[in-house]
Structure 1
Amino acid sequence: MKKIIYLAGIFLLFTACKNDDGAGMANLEYEGGEVSVKIEEGTGISLFTDKACYAPGETVSFGILGNIPSNAKIRYRHLDEVIEEQPLAGSSWTWTLPTVDFTGYMVDIYASSDDKEVIYGTIAVDASSDWKRFPRYGFVAEFGQKSDEDIKDEMSYLSRCHINGVQFQDWHNKHHWPLGSTRDGQIMPVYKDIANRDVYTETVEKYIEVQHALGMKSIFYNLCFGALDDANLDGVKDSWGLFKDYKAKTRDCHELPDSWKSNIYLTDPGNKAWQDYLIQRNTDVYNHFAFDGYQIDQLGNRGTVFNVYGKEVDLPQGYASFIKAMKQAHPDKRLIMNAVSRYGAEQIAKTGKVDFLYNEVWGKDNDRTEAKFSHLKTIIDENNEYSGNQLNTVFAAYMNYWLAENQGEFNAPGVLLTDAVMFALGGSHLELGPHMLCKEYFPNDNLKMTEALKKDIIHYYDFMTAYQNVLRDGGSLTTNVDIVSVDGKFEVQSWPPVKGKLCTIGRSLENQDVIHLLNLSQADSDEWRDDYGTMPEPNTIENPSFSICPSRSVKGLWMASPDYAGGAVIPIAFKVNGNRLEFTLPSLKYWNMLVVEYK
């Protein structure tokens, strides 16, 4: 078991560091502590809730598996503030959430004596009236014959990870005719998807029913400009097509394997007749399935393309026109659109009609412009600018891509380090479904999650959810983080990440400064992809010491990490050395978050 010692209650006064302009900041006040308490990480228990997310004021039902002492208590916290405590009496209980909206909570089970506290388990709770503020996106991609229990089992892990929206990939009959129905409107109980796999209408319906019971949004996937080779028979006009030459001789086409249903022939997304046609097809979908919205896809930069009249087509503007038409037709339905390698990202964001920004990032062997950790921040910065800091970012990013050419297991260090960076930047990662994503073809499940990785992922998603208000709820990212390794256990590097070093990045909020410590000290690359699964597991460094120079009067200092004590808040003692605060953290593996609370 690991131990932490922290202090609480000392009042300190000293002359602080200088501002960037050299002006002194004198007589700042600091509060700390003098009561020594040991916190131990107890043997693990499993906590679960009845839903993935909740509305403010809703009642949460909790359950617990595992053995805990008779004196255990339940503690509900928002950040470092204790909202409520109660004795744990039994293996199930309820808690009525406060009515404040868009708030993350951490619930921990602990037992304490005079000088020791043992944390046995933690779980996060999200109280938000709308998923788009803090999107946590998952997927489903297999729609064969499944029982209710099969589907509930698949969704239970997503619920435990607080996934609040699910994308239905390759669920449809045809891109231009997504509903599995005949031309006269008769619903087909079984039909073929683009890869000629069986899709059961009942399975799609069951997924939606289960997801809604868990508080999740169900979002159907489709291209914005896809037509199969029989589209003419279904009313799609050749004159709506997208062409590679101005004489309209060569149709732009996305080629697929011969064993699949058809190649995909592209249409002009800005063509009003095509928009009207697909609006009607989507109306058919909504009339039969209780989908909450439409995940719109594209295929990245197609080069120079033309409409049937020989006019060059501005695809990004076409995407914006398409989004607006879909929203106008179904204003109550949600929209998300993929910006493949950032193509059309600005135009998508500026429609003001999407719930959040969705970036499928690549950085293939011949183009590494999105492959580095640093590129993830560039994308988030751009998205914040495009949306006026109103929309958060979800990355569709496929881990261990070339390792997944064969059957095997995900390399956990690569996955966890990438999630740590994405979450610290304020983004989230589309990666979780009935399996973890390794390829752009979502049904591909060549790589499996180990049981250890599944547990670690739960901690990471608990962390992102519980601390969403300091991770991705306003403020501004800063690379100018003044933090120094006191004991020399790390070589500290401000953003961007460099392998062999501890990378820092911060977020400035109204009454807090957040400092992220991202451990690349043993990393073999500064790229998030970990293509071949070679990222080594970092050593856990015990009791590293640092110093910072705060900008204002400090109220307190605390740490949390998905790698330590289930992400529970750890108050941190500090002392004054000249014009800096010095402190020791209990440990550091992949990612620690340090929060400076100001008066």
Structure 2
Amino acid sequence: MMRKETKRTVGILLCAFLLCFSGCAAKEAKLPSPGVELPGQDRLIADFYTDKSAYQPGDEVRFTLELKNETQEEFKGKIEFAWYDLTQKTELPALEAQVDAGGEKTLEFSWTPPEEDYRGYLVTALARTGKETVDRRNTAVDVSSDWSRYPRYGYLCEFGDLGEEEIEAVVSRLSRYHINGLQFYDWQDEHDKPLAGTREEPAEKWQDIAKRDVYAKTVSGYIEALHARNMMAANYNLMFGAYEDYEEKGAKKEWGLYQDEHHEVQDNHPLPNWESSLYLMDPSNPEWQDYLLSREADVFAVYDFDVFHVDTLGYRGYVYDYEGEEVELSTSYGGFLQQAGERLGKRILLNPVNGYGAMDAAQSCADFLYEEVWPGSYPEYAHLKQVADTNYDLSQNQKACVIAAYLNYEVAEGEFNANAVKLADAVLFASGAGHLELGDTGMLSSEYFPNRKLAVSEELARDLRDYYDFFTAYETVLRHPEDRREWNGSLSGYQLGKDGEPGEVWMFGSENERFCTVQLINLLSRTDAGWRDDGNTCEDPLLVRDTELSLEVGEITVKQVALASPDIAGGTPYPLEYSLENGILKIQIPYLAYWDMIMIEK
């Protein structure tokens, strides 16, 4: 949690930004010094969101603006709307609004974005009386014909006896973060027989491996609700896991993975007092492939899942097939995935835990590259970027990347550390990687998704809305790793580095035909480089104010320089003062909390 003084300072600066920006044309706006506070800030516009998570080119976007007047006086004015394509602003028609003190009102309007595919947009709402800005809120729009280009992946893990309203509440909340696909974690009956019942007579209720009740109507209800918002539903299962009684269901020991060359000890994943531990099969064995994929076909015949999400368990040491031949698991995944894609006719994802098997995933039919980072691996901020960069490199920048990384892993109770969460998301998003973290239970703190040991505060939930709006709105510059570039420069009064070390501002970025981007991640107050924050001690950021970034840019022309940040006015872009001489671009940076993105238009 941020200290009150820090939070107030941020609020004052944002308000000053808004006062200036709303009263000037974009090209004329200047960033003032902080010092003017809006008394009604965040006390009129309660929420602003879209009706779906993503849109096909040509689709109409429907917006909802919820007003709740807590300013102690009547609001009578206009709500002014605009949309941004990166730094380009276009105004939309305003709406008249009148809300009594303490009153509430809901406004709706629609907009059809440009038909260009794979574009993100920021949409802003300003509440104004005359020339005075009373409040603001932003949202984002993703126009993409296929989710795999810019995946924002979440999870579901509780499938009890839920009604339609409960399901809709979960999906509506996640849609406001623009999540466009959800993994149905441990929803199945048994790993080696995922469908409860038969195709002809599917069961209405069963228990998952942890003996938790699962209802068919809840699974189907979630899938239907996701599809209504252009979200993908992913059927999760382990590639090679079978229950202890697998022989009774037709599987064979000859298909197993063993810890010895004489098939005396089958490799297994022990589980605590659940329905069964998991006994591992050889994923390259054609008979096992046929066995499991036939049963997954039963699942897809009953439930309208879009994706088969295939899980693994990382490096298992030396393992052998029944004949005593060593099995290299990391190179055995590709054949399984190929068979899955061909036989099921569905989208495919693979989780090569800690990168074990990532090459097979990159060369497979997988929609994008997903990797779960388990505790003890890749512990530092720089490692998160390394995982993202490596995944992009493996696919020759053809597949997007999503990383499952769990914050505050060792913390037993309480709330997530907001500083740690925002810094980790800043690193991942700035590196072009999605973060599997949000779902029906809130946020993940461990690899067992139903774990509810930590809560998300209202303040963090609101801040993350800004982060996901930002990640969506600026996807066309954030998620193109082929444009990666390393910058050289200095930051007046502060340590500027390239390696994600504590005590510095970390700089990296990109360059394409139109824009250079410079990502600035604030690690100045960090005393260690550990992103997980197992001690729940991640400090408030040391706020950077009124500094100058000197950047070596070589022989380029510069049309304008703009600042955008999820920490500043919901990601609204603002022009910056700059000078360019002898290949050195000097940019005036007014403010840095967690993450700033500098966009240099050429």
TM-score by length of 2: 0.89
Alignment of 1:103-114 (within 5 A): 103-110=119-126
1:229 Cα offset (Å): 1.3
Aligned amino acid, residue 526 of structure 2: A
Alignment of 1:385-424 (within 5 A): 385-403=393-411, 406-424=412-430
Aligned amino acid, residue 231 of structure 2: M
CA-to-partner distance for each residue in 1:519-544, whole Å, 9 max, x for gaps?
00001221211112111111333333
Contact 1:6 1:573 in 2 (8 A): no
Aligned residue in 2 for 1:372: 380
Contact 1:316 1:347 in 2 (8 A): yes
1:381 Cα offset (Å): 2.3
Contact 1:499 1:523 in 2 (8 A): yes
Aligned amino acid, residue 385 of structure 1: D
The CA distance in 1 between the partners of 2:538 and 2:234, in whole Å, is: 33
1:34 Cα offset (Å): 6.2
The CA distance in 2 between the partners of 1:116 and 1:106, in whole Å, is: 22
CA-to-partner distance for each residue in 1:31-52, whole Å, 9 max, x for gaps?
x966758698862322011111
Unaligned runs of 5+ in 2: 1-11, 70-74, 98-106
The CA distance in 2 between the partners of 1:388 and 1:92, in whole Å, is: 43
Aligned amino acid, residue 289 of structure 1: Y
What is the aligned counterpart of 2:311 among 284, 290, 297?
Answer: 297
Aligned residue in 2 for 1:593: 597
Aligned residue in 2 for 1:483: 489
Aligned residue in 1 for 2:431: 425
Aligned residue in 2 for 1:233: 248
Report the secondary structure of 1:346's partner residue: helix
Report the secondary structure of 1:328's partner residue: helix
1:244 Cα offset (Å): 1.0
1:158 Cα offset (Å): 0.8
1:313 Cα offset (Å): 1.2
Aligned residue in 2 for 1:560: 564
Worse-matched range after superposition: 543-552 or 164-173: 543-552
The CA distance in 1 between the partners of 2:248 and 2:456, in whole Å, is: 44
The 3 A distance-change label for structure 1 pair 115 and 34 is farther
What is the aligned counterpart of 1:514 among 507, 514, 517?
Answer: 517
Aligned amino acid, residue 336 of structure 1: L
Alignment of 1:45-56 (within 5 A): 45=45, 46-56=47-57
Aligned residue in 2 for 1:349: 362
1:582 Cα offset (Å): 3.0
What is the aligned counterpart of 2:211 among 171, 196, 204?
Answer: 196
The 3 A distance-change label for structure 1 pair 275 and 37 is closer
The CA distance in 2 between the partners of 1:120 and 1:208, in whole Å, is: 34
Aligned amino acid, residue 451 of structure 2: N
Aligned residue in 1 for 2:353: 340
Q: Percent identity?
A: 39
Contact 1:69 1:111 in 2 (8 A): no
Aligned residue in 1 for 2:88: 81
The 3 A distance-change label for structure 1 pair 547 and 275 is same
The CA distance in 2 between the partners of 1:153 and 1:287, in whole Å, is: 27
Report the secondary structure of 1:543's partner residue: strand
Aligned amino acid, residue 204 of structure 1: V
1:577 Cα offset (Å): 6.5
The CA distance in 2 between the partners of 1:466 and 1:65, in whole Å, is: 21
The CA distance in 2 between the partners of 1:128 and 1:422, in whole Å, is: 21
Contact 2:564 2:574 in 1 (8 A): yes
Aligned residue in 2 for 1:218: 233
Aligned length: 560
Aligned amino acid, residue 469 of structure 1: T
Aligned residue in 2 for 1:545: 548
What is the aligned counterpart of 1:261 among 275, 280, 292?
Answer: 275
TM-score by length of 1: 0.89
Contact 2:77 2:129 in 1 (8 A): no
Contact 1:499 1:522 in 2 (8 A): yes
Aligned amino acid, residue 374 of structure 2: W
Contact 2:81 2:92 in 1 (8 A): yes
The CA distance in 1 between the partners of 2:291 and 2:536, in whole Å, is: 45
The CA distance in 2 between the partners of 1:453 and 1:35, in whole Å, is: 29
CA-to-partner distance for each residue in 1:181-222, whole Å, 9 max, x for gaps?
16x853221111001111111111111111111110000110
1:344 Cα offset (Å): 0.6
CA-to-partner distance for each residue in 1:292-311, whole Å, 9 max, x for gaps?
01110011111111111111
Report the secondary structure of 1:383's partner residue: helix
Aligned residue in 1 for 2:588: 584
Contact 2:29 2:574 in 1 (8 A): no
The CA distance in 2 between the partners of 1:274 and 1:94, in whole Å, is: 51
Contact 1:524 1:534 in 2 (8 A): no
The CA distance in 1 between the partners of 2:576 and 2:129, in whole Å, is: 20
The 3 A distance-change label for structure 1 pair 361 and 190 is same
Worse-matched range after superposition: 574-583 or 322-331: 574-583
1:579 Cα offset (Å): 5.6
The CA distance in 2 between the partners of 1:416 and 1:35, in whole Å, is: 28
Aligned residue in 2 for 1:21: none
Report the secondary structure of 1:72's partner residue: strand
Aligned amino acid, residue 479 of structure 2: R
